[in-house]
């Protein structure tokens, strides 16, 4: 794992003096899912959070973190974010907006700072993992530390 480079996301947590571990894993270009990351790192899916890029009709772009294997509840996200409707940003727009590629999107260190919403289930755990800004690299940290670092709002945003 000598190829781990310091991502903007890593620098942000270091500068904020937030404790975290980095977990690296082998990336399969054909399977960039959070479910795959959970399998390869041995971290349960409910503690492995994926970051999605969404857009609200009123507030614009936002980042959304939810557990692997779960689907986003757009109605709940709209309500939590003060929008009438929300949708996922088309994949081709994600990199220009965030600076991150699919499978490497972190809620920290985006080109521009966007509002972050984290599913409230994160708070049930001592730690969660979330992408650290490149494919095959995860942060392992306390949910409240991630919430503080991103200024995130927590809400029930997964489809039940």
pLDDT digits (tens, 9 = 90+) for 20-42: 999 999 998 888 899 999 999 99
Cα distances from 158 to residues 8, 44, 83, in angstroms, run 28, 17, 17
pLDDT digits (tens, 9 = 90+) for 110-151: 999 999 999 999 999 999 999 999 999 999 999 999 999 999
| pTM, rounded to two decimals | 0.94
Q: Which domains does the chain have, with CATH numbers?
A: 25-155 (3.90.960.10)
C-alpha span between 92 and 1 (Å, rounded): 29
Three-state DSSP class for residue 114: coil
Task: Work out the burial of residue 160: count CB atoms within 10 Å of its CB; fewer than 13 is exposed, 13-18 middle, 19 or more buried.
Answer: exposed
């Amino acid at each position: 794992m000598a190829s781990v480079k310091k991502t903007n996301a890593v620098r942000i947590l270091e500068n904020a003096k937030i404790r975290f571990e980095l977990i690296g894993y082998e990336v399969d270009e054909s399977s960039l899912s959070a479910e795959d990351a959970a399998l390869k790192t041995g971290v349960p899916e409910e503690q492995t959070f994926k970051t999605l890029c969404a857009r609200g009709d009123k507030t614009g772009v936002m980042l959304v973190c939810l557990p692997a294997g779960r689907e986003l509840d757009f109605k709940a996200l709209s309500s939590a974010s003060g929008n009438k409707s929300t949708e996922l940003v088309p994949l081709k727009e994600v990199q220009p907006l965030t600076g991150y590629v699919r499978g490497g999107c972190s809620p920290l260190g985006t080109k521009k700072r966007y509002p972050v919403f984290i599913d409230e289930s994160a708070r049930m755990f001592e730690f969660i993992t979330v992408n650290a800004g490149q494919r095959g690299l995860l942060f392992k940290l306390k949910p409240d530390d991630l919430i503080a670092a991103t200024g995130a709002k927590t809400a029930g945003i997964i489809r039940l």
